[in-house]
Structure 1
C-alpha cells in the first residue's frame, strides 16, 4: 500500500508543480522561449512522473497479488 500511495502522491505533487512551473515568470524568456530553469525543472518533473508511475504500478501489482487466495 505504501508504494501505491507513493505513486498517487507523486502524481498529485508533480502535476501541481508542472502547472506552477508553466505559469512561472522565471520559466520563459521575453521572446517566449523556455529558460534553462524551465528545461531543468521540466526534466525533473517528467522523470518524477515516470518513477512515480513505475513505483505505483509495482505497488498496485503487489496489492493485487496479496489479495489473491493462495492455493
Structure 2
C-alpha cells in the first residue's frame, strides 16, 4: 500500500503529538491526590490512566513510524 505524502506527514505529526501530550497528561495524573492512597500505593484511578497513557503512546509510536516510513519512501521515490 502506498501512502500519499500528505497522509504520511499527518501520521508522523500524530505520532509526535502523542509524545507531547501523553507524558504531560501522566505528569498531571501523578500529581493528582486521587492517584495515591494513604499508604502511598497507586489507586485504581492512577492505574486506569497509566494504562491509557501506555496504550496511547504505543499506538502513537506505531502510527508515527508508519508516517516516517511513508515520508522516507516518498522522498526516495521523488529522487
Tell me the TM-score range normalised by the shorter chain: over 0.9
Q: Name structure 1 gaps, 5 residues minimum.
A: none
Normalization by structure 2: what TM-score?
0.85
Q: Name structure 2 gaps, 5 residues minimum.
A: 1-8
Task: Find the aligned partners of 2:48 and 2:18 in 1 and give their Cα distance.
Answer: 18
When the two chains are superposed, the root-mean-square deviation of aligned CA atoms in Å is 1.3
Write out the 4+ residue segments of structure 1 that deviate beyond 2 Å after TM superposition. none
* Per-residue Cα deviation, 1:21-54 (whole angstroms, up to 9, x for no partner): 1111110001101010000000000000000000
Which residue number in structure 1 is paired with residue 4 of structure 2? none
Normalization by structure 1: what TM-score?
0.95
